[in-house]
Amino acid sequence: MRCFRSLRGRKAFTTVMGRGHRASSPTLSLFALTHRRDAANVPEVGIVITKKVGKAVTRNQLRRRCKAILEGSPQSLAPKRYVLHCRPKAAALSFAELRRQLMDVLARVAS
């Protein structure tokens, strides 16, 4: 079972990307925004992968890999809203390197 909910709606994505804290690596950017007080204490994650990354098969594979990394992360996600933006070079990374970069940006956003 996933430890986070999916972030839905264009307004939610633009709010997190506009107001949230940002941490970047060469292939990823992660934005984080603290929940409102009336929101549930469950993290919400949205993943942005544009068509510049590749065909639908490549984009979906990258999305599944990112979700698997977040689900199996040793550190739990803080109850915030997150938007993960993957750049085109992210599709060429090995799973281990993608995991390393994602954990690095997650740690920088959490602090």
Residue pLDDT, tens place only, 64-83: 999 999 988 766 688 889 99
Cβ atoms 4, 44 nearer than 8 A:
yes
How far is residue 107 from each of residues 31, 50, 57, measured CA to CA in Å?
12, 24, 29
What total number of domains does the chain contain? Answer: 1
Query: Which structural domain range is residue 87 located in?
Result: 5-110
| Tens digit of each residue's pLDDT (9 = 90 or more) over 27-41 | 999 999 987 665 667
**Cβ proximity of 106 and 75 under 8 Å:** yes
Decide: 65 and 95 in contact? Cβ < 8 Å. yes
What pTM did the predictor assign?
Answer: 0.89
Query: What is the CB neighbour count within 10 angstroms for residue 9?
Result: 9
Q: How far apart are CA 20 and CA 10, in angstroms?
A: 15
> In CATH, what number is assigned to the domain containing residue 33?
3.30.230.10
Per the prediction, the chain carries an average pLDDT of 90
pLDDT of residue 35: 73
Q: Which residue has the higher pLDDT, 35 or 61?
A: 61
